[in-house]
Structures are given as structure tokens and as C-alpha cells.
Chains A and B, each alone.
Chain A
Amino acid sequence: MENKAPRKVTHHDHYWKFTKKISFLSFVPRKCSTRASRYKDILTGAMGGNNKKDTDEMLLGLLKKHNVDFLPFVPDAGHARLIDQAFDDPDLQPIVLTTEEEGVAFACGNWLGGKKSVLLMQSSGVGNTVNMLSLVSNCNFPFVTLITMRGDFGEFNSWQVPMGKATPTVLMAMGIQVLNVRKREDLLNTVDAALYSAFSSDQRIAVLISQNLVGRKEW
């Protein structure tokens, strides 16, 4: 049998070698204060802006401030730490899904029973939700989804690009308001606005978190 030739080193290898995996905002200093004091900062309005504290944990605090109860999710590396933290938090219950449309239906049922869900997914999953979003639109359910983007900034895997490109258009076509977050300092403020607007006036909002902010996937 012919020996397999060693794989040729391409420019991709050099490119990705120096691209550190950045899990959702992981380069901000951690353990700079206790959880209790961080939550207090959020409650007292000190969050947002250019705050250098652990933004993932602040995001968790923000969800709690808005009395979100459930986090249905199809995982994404960008949401990984948020999901891990939510599993450790007695006030938030993550719900693992087999497909994103389950999360849309779950969130609607949750509101029928008086509770709040926020759906976590990546942009590739938006395509799976399309018809289920008619439930949200037709019944005016409050709906918030936090979507980490693929294929919008420095994507290596071309298979992720078509759905990434189509994500905002598809959401808007189904009547969902799209809020883009391209800078870290805008994240908490945008999520805060989305949660407030959705649950106080029955709005349907997707927060798209750019790949620029989430970090490139390590290969």
C-alpha cells in the first residue's frame, strides 16, 4: 500500500497557530471580585460601558436581574462559559435541546406559564427555527435569543458562511428585531435593552454577537 504523504503545511496552519481560542470574552481578568459584589454592581447600575470585569458573569447577573428563569440552548463555544455558569446557578435552569426550534416552542410555553426563557444558539441554528418563529409572531410572544455568530468575521470554515450571512435577513423576514453587537462594551447594554423591551412590551428580539467578539474557533 502506498504510504500516505505527510500533509502539506499551508498558510492556514501558520494563520491558526497564532490565533488563540478566545472563549467568550475570556481575556478580561477573572476573579477580580466576588460573585455577590458583581451582582451588586449590576443591580446598582454599575455594569456596562467599558467595565473590565468578567462580562460572562455580568451577563448572567443581567439575566437574573430581569428574572429570566430558563436558558434553553443548543451549545456554541461562544456561549460555553455562560451555560456552565448557569448550571451552577440555582436561579437559572439551562435546558439542553436537540434542535433550536424546540427552544422557540419552549420559550412560548414558558411564557404561557408565566416564566421567562432566553434562547441561546449560534447563527447556524437560526435556519432551524424559521417556521417555529411563526408561533412567536402570530401570538405576540415576548422572545429574546442571544445568537453567537459564525461566518461573519474571520471564519475559517466556509460551510458556516451561508447561514451566517443569511442570519439577520432570515430573522427579519420572520418579524424578529435584530440588534447587532460588534463591540464588547455594547454587549450588556444591548442585552439589557432587549430583555426590557421584549418582556415589558411583547417584542421579539435577536441579539447577534459578532464573531469578532466571540473569537475565532481554534483548529
Chain B
Amino acid sequence: MLKRREVTASLNGLREEARIISGLGSSTYDLHSTGDNSRNFYLWGAMGGAAMVGLGVAMAQPNSNIIVLTGDGEMLMGMGSLATIGVQQPTNLSIIVLDNGHFGETGMQASHTNSCVDLAKIAKSSGFNFSTTIKTDHGLKNFLTRFGDLPRPLFAAFKVEREKLVRSLPILDGVELKNRFRKTYDFLPN
């Protein structure tokens, strides 16, 4: 089992110019805990939408690397978007799931991935060109070394511990989050 913030921090260390979209709840706090960045778009709601927001950016900016960082519950709610992404075959989109097998924000109820559901297999059969589940430190290190060269669309589920961590809260202001993210591509607000 891995630690979610270690996975997040090590991915963030490799990001360079990549934009990261985080799913609501713990994934947003995890991403913010690595340090705030205008290239992050934190979702505070819109459960199930992180992967599709990521696809929207990825198709708008095909030369820009886009990473979606989300949890198992959020990804399960948007499971159809794996099919939609598979059809579009974006070569710049990676979906990273921090999978603790539980709905962490709402009282740690067991999720589907705690039972029989395998998100990586669903991604694979949806047409992702690389899909894996990583459970160990060795697997993480191996993944990080190869991350830049792996084919996209990429899906990786990291099996992480069920932890209650101190929340690291980004700003809530959606308009500000939108405008500062767009500014990283030199777009001005209307």
C-alpha cells in the first residue's frame, strides 16, 4: 500500500509544465499540499467531472500535458468518461487515480474498488494505450521513471492507504481558479 501524498508529491515533482486537474475531496487537498500552482485546476464539486474537464483541456491544447488526479469514488461516478476518452485517443492525457477503496470525505464507506471493480481493466478495455494498477513503492518508482515515455491516453490506479489527513485547502473561488489557469495559456478574462 502506498501513501497518497507521497504519490501526489512524486508525480508533482515530474510535472514540469503539465496542467493538473484534481477531483473533489482528498485529491484536491493532496494536490494543494504539494504547493499551490496556477497550472492546477482544483475541483471542489462536480463529482464525476474531473476526467472530462481533463479531456476538454487536452483536446483544446494538444501540445500541453494534462494530468487528472482523482479518487476512486470520483472516477467511478464518471466511469463513462473512460469510454469517451478511449474513443478520442488524446496523446497528452493521463488519468491518475488515488484508490483507497473508500469514500473518504463522507465517512469512509467502502467503494466498488474495495470489492470486485478494477478501474485499470475498465480503462484498458475502453481503449487507453497504457493502463496499470500500482501497489508498491517499487511499482511507483518504476512508473515514475517511465512516466514521460509511456503512451497516452494513460491510466494508473495507485492503491493507497485509507488515511485521514490534515486538509490542505486551495481557494474556493471558481472564477479565480478559472482565470488564473487560462492565464497560463495567455488567455485573458472576458
Interface set of A (CB-CB < 8 Å, partner B): 69-70, 93, 95-99, 101-115, 117, 131-132, 134-135, 138-142, 199-202
Contacts and interface: CB of A to CB of B under 8 A. Distances in A.
A139 B174 contact: yes
Contacts of A106: 52-53, 55-56, 84
B43 A110 contact: no
Contacts of B55: 106, 109
A139 B61 CA distance: 20
Q: Is the interface of B mostly helix, strand, loop or mixed?
A: helix
B59 A107 contact: no
B56 A105 contact: yes
A191 B129 CA distance: 38
A139 B178 contact: yes
Given A98-B81, A135-B45, 13 more contacts: A69-B60, A96-B84, A102-B80, A105-B49, A105-B53, A108-B49, A108-B56, A109-B54, A109-B56, A112-B56, A113-B60, A114-B60, A135-B43
B178 to A, nearest CB: 5
B135 interface: no
Contact of A139 (B54, B58, B80, B175): B175
B181 interface: yes
Contact of B78 (A102, A112, A113, A199): A102
Interface string B17-38: 0000100000000000000000
Given A93-B59, A98-B83, A115-B59, A131 B190 contact: no
By size class, the interface of chain B is 35 or more
Contact of A132 (B21, B46, B54, B64): B46
Given A114-B61, A115-B59, A109 B21 contact: yes
Nearest to A137: B174
A140 B88 CA distance: 27
A107 B57 CA distance: 9
Given A99-B80, A113-B185, A202-B190, A107 B56 contact: yes
A125 B64 CA distance: 31
Contacts of B185: 113-114
Given A102-B52, A112-B53, A132-B46, A70 B182 contact: no
B190 A201 contact: yes
Contacts of B144: none
A23 B48 CA distance: 33
A182 B60 CA distance: 34
A102 B182 CA distance: 21
B117 interface: no
B177 interface: yes
A113 B41 contact: no
A113 B57 CA distance: 5
A200 B190 contact: yes
B174 A138 contact: yes
Contacts of B53: 105-106, 108-109, 112, 135
Contact of A112 (B47, B81, B88, B181): B181
A140 B177 CA distance: 11
Nearest to A104: B49
Nearest to A110: B56
B56 A117 contact: yes
Contacts of B78: 102, 105
Given A135-B45, A139-B177, A70 B84 contact: no
